[in-house]
Structure 1
Amino acid sequence: MARVKYYYDTETCKYEVVKVRPVDIVLNLLGFVTLSVIFALGMTLIFSRYYKTDQEIVLKKKNEELLMHYKLIKKQLTEVNEMLTALQKRDDNIYRVIFEAEPIPASVRNAGTGGVNRYEDLLKKGLQEEDLIVGTFQKIDELKRKMYVQSKSYDEISMLVKNKSKMLASIPAIQPINNKQLTRLSSGFGVRMHPIYKVAQFHPGVDFAAPHGTPIYATGDGTITEAKFSGGYGNAVKINHGYGYETYYAHMSAFAVRPGQKVKRGELIGYVGNTGFSTAPHLHYEVFYNGEWVNPVYYFFNDLKPDEYQKILELASIENQSLS
């Protein structure tokens, strides 16, 4: 049987039976349950704060590792960006200067990649490390853009190198005959005494005295445009080297090339002779740049040492008589 509870009624001075209403029972029960739930939640919060499950410990460790990796990636991206900036400066201030190319404008190198909307999907996710993650993606995009611009620049430099190498090979840069002893140069560029008319005339080239049949060589890469008898010049060869340069070889005894043939620097093109207006076997040699005569001696730099080049300059300056 359930225990009967009494209370003392002061008005009647009697003990009366306590009557419990169903609602009181319900309220007491609800109060008990509420206190139990609050207590349980409090204990759960305390436990979860200070005591982690194995799964939570693993997840926390993974998050810490990911955060560390992001920070390392950000640091490495900064270092790569610095290296790329150094390459850009070297490109603009050295390579492009050497090959006479304009530097790439900063506005092109630092052009945008699409604005903030590019990362809208990431921003919507409400990431805890939003600044770090979005900032990393921004740096990656920036590097990709700069690397693309730099790669295009190197493609251009590569073409310039090829063209420059071709140009350097085409410039007339050696003596047209073997002159190791520096004794062959007999007349220089400028006003000289004409061998036949005995009057001072402009001599548009240099003369190399040499025995009949001495080999004559192309002084730069190019294409033979003439190989024929040409009046006072006798048997003569003209080479178009491109880049504004042409060379002319006169008084030859025989040809070793034909018009339209491509030749390399140092390739045999003919032999010394005494044809045309000539008083002795020799080679008359001229250099043109953009259609104008220039002093050929200034182009004998590829096969001479500095002291030898100086001696050639001195010999060419002596006002002697030309041979043609």
Structure 2
Amino acid sequence: MKKVKYYYDPETLAYRKIKPRKRTKLAYAGLFLLSSALFGFLGFVLLLNTSFFETPKDRLLTREIENLKINYDIVNRKMDQMDEVMASIAERDNNLYRTYFNAAPIPEEQRKAGFGGVNRYKELEGYNNSQLVTDTRKRVDVLSKELAIQSKSLDEIYRLAKEKSKLLAAIPAIQPVQNEKLRAVASGFGYRSDPFTKVRKFHAGMDFSARTGTPIFATGDGVVARADAGASGYGNHIVIRHGYGYETLYGHLSKYKVRAGQRVKRGEIIGYVGSTGRSEAPHLHYEVHKGGVVVNPLNFYYGNISAAEYVAIAKLANQENQSLD
């Protein structure tokens, strides 16, 4: 039974029954419906965030998302390892390879630089795991850039190494005749007594005494520029251009084993000792030129002798005796 409400009327001094208005009833009804709807919506949202209404498809998607998170974590850990390897390679590249070949080191900022300007990851924004995916993508891009820079650096090192090996092969680094007992040096580089005029004059090479027919070796890789008797005083002689500014001359030969234009290797026999031209006895007159300037051949005998042997040869070569040409 509905509860009846009364109010006291002071004018009539009596209690009167309260009659609710229709508008008030409608307002109460509307408020009740609105609050019911609001609580119902909140309850529905809460239920959606629980597993109560999960379908098999929803559960599958949830598992896939968790699996992807795990995979991203594994990828990031692997990239941590790759970063360590790259750092080690970069250190060797800067402090060993590039130092050895006199190449400037690549700055760390250049190796690790990101990508400025336009937002490259805009399409990845707005998702639940956007930060995870974006950070991983950025790391992959930076690592890819590091690999590209390192690859170019190694290409440069390879090119420099090839040039270095060519340079090392071109340098006239051995003695031009066999000199096992270090007694073949007859005269050295510098001022010596001329065997014909007995006047002290500059001797532009080294003389190696040897029997006629003793093999003469190319002291570095190069191309034979001439093999003739066209230059005054040298008799039959050979000139080899080694490149990098190096040139060697072999004079007073008895005969040639090479011709002009022929490419030769260090240690290859190019001719034989003789006494042609302005010569007092069978010997080889040997000169080294660098950048068009004659230099002391003694400074280049590092390819086939020890330090002690070098000292012995230097002692013989530095004696101010009489040259053989």
Q: Per the shorter chain, which TM-score range?
A: 0.7 to 0.9
Q: 1:47 to 1:149 in 2, by over 3 A?
A: closer
CA RMSD, aligned part only? 3.2
Structure-1 separation of matches of 2:102 and 2:43: 77
**Which residue, 92, 102, 105 being the options, matches 2:104?**
102
Q: Residue type matched to 2:314 in 1?
A: L
Residue 111 of structure 1 and its aligned partner are, at CA, apart by 4.5
Q: 1:214 to 1:44 in 2, by over 3 A?
A: closer
- Which stretch of structure 1 is more off in the superposition, 47-56 or 300-309? 47-56
SS in 1 for 2:136: helix
Structure-2 separation of matches of 1:114 and 1:249: 62
SS in 2 for 1:232: coil
Match of 1:305 in 2: 306
The count of aligned residue pairs is: 305
Q: 1:7 to 1:150 in 2, by over 3 A?
A: closer
Structure-2 separation of matches of 1:206 and 1:184: 10
8 A contact 2:47–2:53 mirrored in 1 = no
Match of 1:13 in 2: none
SS in 2 for 1:231: coil
Any gaps of 5 or more consecutive residues in structure 1?
9-23
Q: 1:53 to 1:254 in 2, by over 3 A?
A: same
Q: Does 1:228 align with 2:228?
A: yes
Q: Does 1:142 align with 2:142?
A: yes
8 A contact 2:226–2:240 mirrored in 1 = yes
Q: 1:172 to 1:35 in 2, by over 3 A?
A: same
* Identity across the alignment (%): 45
Q: 1:42 to 1:102 in 2, by over 3 A?
A: closer
Q: 1:280 to 1:36 in 2, by over 3 A?
A: closer
Q: 1:70 to 1:120 in 2, by over 3 A?
A: same
Residue 47 of structure 1 and its aligned partner are, at CA, apart by 9.3
Q: Residue type matched to 2:211 in 1?
A: P
Q: Residue type matched to 1:227 in 2?
A: A
**Which residue, 75, 78, 82 being the options, matches 2:80?**
78
- Which stretch of structure 1 is more off in the superposition, 100-109 or 300-309? 100-109
Match of 1:242 in 2: 243
Q: 1:78 to 1:286 in 2, by over 3 A?
A: same
Residue 141 of structure 1 and its aligned partner are, at CA, apart by 0.7
Q: 1:209 to 1:67 in 2, by over 3 A?
A: same
Once the two structures are superposed, the pairs formed by residues 194-213 of structure 1 within 5 Å of their partners are: 194-213=194-213
Match of 2:15 in 1: none
Q: Does 1:316 align with 2:317?
A: yes
Structure-2 separation of matches of 1:110 and 1:37: 53
Q: 1:47 to 1:220 in 2, by over 3 A?
A: closer
Residue 161 of structure 1 and its aligned partner are, at CA, apart by 0.9
8 A contact 2:252–2:283 mirrored in 1 = yes
Structure-1 separation of matches of 2:259 and 2:181: 30
Q: 1:48 to 1:157 in 2, by over 3 A?
A: closer
Q: Residue type matched to 1:99 in 2?
A: F
Match of 1:296 in 2: 297
SS in 1 for 2:119: helix
SS in 2 for 1:137: helix
8 A contact 2:274–2:284 mirrored in 1 = yes
Q: What TM-score do you get using the length of structure 1 for normalisation? A: 0.83
Structure-2 separation of matches of 1:47 and 1:81: 42
Q: 1:143 to 1:37 in 2, by over 3 A?
A: closer
Q: 1:51 to 1:222 in 2, by over 3 A?
A: same
8 A contact 1:113–1:145 mirrored in 2 = no
Match of 2:267 in 1: 266
Structure-2 separation of matches of 1:236 and 1:194: 20
Any gaps of 5 or more consecutive residues in structure 2?
5-24
SS in 1 for 2:252: strand
Deviations 1:176-231 (A, max 9, x none): 01111211111111111111111211111110000001111100000111111122
Deviations 1:21-66 (A, max 9, x none): xxx9xx99xx89x979967984994696365857355443332222
